[in-house]
Structure 1
Amino acid sequence: MSALPKVVLFDLDGTLLDSAPDMLATINLMKAARGAAPMALSQLRPHVSKGSRAMISAAFPEWDAQTRDAHVPEFLDIYARESGRHGRPFPGVEDFLQWLEAAGVRWGIVTNKPEGLARDIVRKVGWLDRSEVLIGGDSLAERKPHPLPLLHAVATMGVSVDDCVYVGDDERDIEAARAANMRSAVALWGYRLEGDAPETWGGDVMLQDIADLRAADAWP
């Protein structure tokens, strides 16, 4: 246990939560309102970690950037209603969080999801009182890949960057960790576009399954 970090910070969507089904329900309600055919989960899933704009672009490729951006509030409003109705934590995540807690390791969440939406879904899955910090994409002046959210999280928890590891499934997660001089782990079970090459992102370790981290020597 001596090799375990004092603190683990996690991305949310695609790392702790398989929220793609909630996102799909949101997109398909937008499509239904326009008389368009529904989108398949396999089509949307790779875009989930890229954010609302990327998902809207994938669902409505005929929209230009201005039209897409104008529909972000609609997406967020529908998602607020669908959040937690379809998605679930990835297999093994809850058991792993309990294992971390039993080992005395503190943990928190740093996501680019708007804080209000993140706080709502984290509450629904029962993590709000267990996650020691929750930083959303609109919590601060910057969001990932800027290092500020990670630096703010460790400052809030009263630890140093050297005490922490960040786990995320998107290149922005690893960029943010590198910019913060924080060790990082790539969650390969998350959401990636075809052609993404996570081995080039500069993460310290690559994880096929979150349970891999039960081995103390698996940590960066």
Structure 2
Amino acid sequence: MIRGLIFDLDGTLVDSLPGIATALNHALNDIELPNHPRDVVKTFIGDGLLNLITRALGPDHSNQQNELLAAFKKHYSQDWKDGTFPYPGITSLLEEFQQSNFPMAVLSNKPHEYTVEIVETLFPQNLFSQIRGHQEGYPKKPDPTTAHRIISDWNLKAEEVAYIGDSIVDLDTARNGKMTPLIFSWGYGTPEDFPLLHSVDDLRNVILGSS
């Protein structure tokens, strides 16, 4: 039985691609490098900020990593606000889960400060007991260490928790942590050959049908 829910952020709860692509291309303009189409930027997302920057630069400009990273941070602090949106129906579904007494958390590879700011801005207060982005000294997903810390705080077993995401990184996080993987089809880097959820109703049926 599923008793707790941990969510990825980008591509799962929110469509953040417009804001990320805008900030990245503004940053590339700053250092006089070519822009990337949004569909290409989509393939860069999911493994944390440094990997986003590395992929955007490619091997020919890897020596400009620090420069692009600083420029991206400058722009993203503003650009995410006009380019990050909860997926339709997600907020009301989260409120249903809360009313059904499921503890919920967010666990993302996005830097911690952005993760907290986005969640606290776009979603009602007190939906999530914990909001965790990537922080220095903690391993990124698909390492399940931070997920297990959350689960321990809930006094649950990993087998009682679903990890809900949109990518192969999220699938591996769930598997590595012995959690139930639930993967949406609408995100970034959707895994192949795995049963996907195609709507918020699909997730509602899985979770509320198991309680």
TM band (smaller chain): 0.7 to 0.9
Please say if residues 133 and 156 of structure 1, whose CA atoms lie closer than 8 Å, have aligned partners that are also in contact.
no
More displaced 10-residue stretch of structure 1: 108-117 or 68-77? 68-77
Offset at 1:12? 0.5
Query: 1:19-71: CA deviations, max 9, x gaps?
Result: 11110111121122244554322221232223333433443335444433553
Q: Aligned to 1:12, what secondary structure does the other structure show? A: coil
Counterpart for residue 85 of structure 1? 82
Q: Which residue of 2 aligns with 1:112?
A: 109
Show the counterpart of 1:209: 199
2:5 to 5, 8, 12: 8
- Give runs of aligned pairs for residues 94-113 of structure 1, distance below 5 A: 94-113=91-110
1:216 Cα deviation from its structure 2 partner: 4.2
**C-alpha offsets along residues 55-91 of structure 1, whole Å, 9 cap, x if unaligned?**
3344333544443355323322321222222110112
Could you say what the CA RMSD is over the residues aligned between the two structures, in angstroms?
Answer: 2.5
Question: Which amino acid letter does the alignment assign opposite residue 79 of structure 1?
Answer: Y
Mapped contact 1:110–1:153 kept (Cα < 8 A): no
- Say if 1:92 and 1:128 are closer, same or farther in 2 by CA, change over 3 A: same
Is 1:18 aligned to 2:15, yes or no? Answer: yes
Deviations for 1:98-135, whole angstroms, at most 9, x for unmatched residues? 22122222211111111111111111103452111112
Query: How much has 1:185 moved relative to structure 2?
Result: 0.8
Which position in structure 2 is the counterpart of 1:199?
A: 193
Relative to 1, partners in 2 of residues 1:182 and 1:140: Cα closer, same or farther, differing over 3 Å? farther
Q: Report the Cα distance in structure 1 between the residues aligned to 2:69 and 2:155, rounded to whole angstroms.
A: 35
- The aligned counterpart of 2:150 is 153
Describe the SS at the equivalent of 1:191: coil
User: Does residue 1:185 correspond to 2:175, yes or no?
Assistant: no
Query: Per the alignment, in what secondary structure is the counterpart of residue 83 of structure 2?
Result: coil
Tell me the TM-score normalised to structure 2 length.
Answer: 0.86
Q: CA deviation at 1:92?
A: 1.8
Q: Match for 1:215: what amino acid?
A: N
Moved more, 113-122 or 95-104: 95-104
Q: 1:119 touches 1:134 (CA, 8 Å); kept in 2?
A: yes
- Report deviation, 1:147: 1.2
Identity %: 21
- Bigger shift: residues 53-62 or 124-133: 53-62
TM-score norm. by structure 1 comes to 0.83
Query: Aligned partners of 2:56, 2:180: CA distance in 1, in Å?
Result: 35
**Change in 2 beyond 3 A, CA 1:51/1:63:** farther
**Counterpart residue identity of residue 198, structure 2:** Q
Per mean C-alpha deviation after superposition, the further-off stretch among 85-94 and 35-44 is 35-44
Matches within 5 A, 1:66-85: 66-68=63-65, 71-85=68-82
Instruction: Establish whether residue 122 from structure 1 lines up as the match of residue 122 from structure 2.
Output: no
Give unmatched runs, 5+ long, in structure 1: none
| Mapped contact 2:19–2:80 kept (Cα < 8 A) | yes
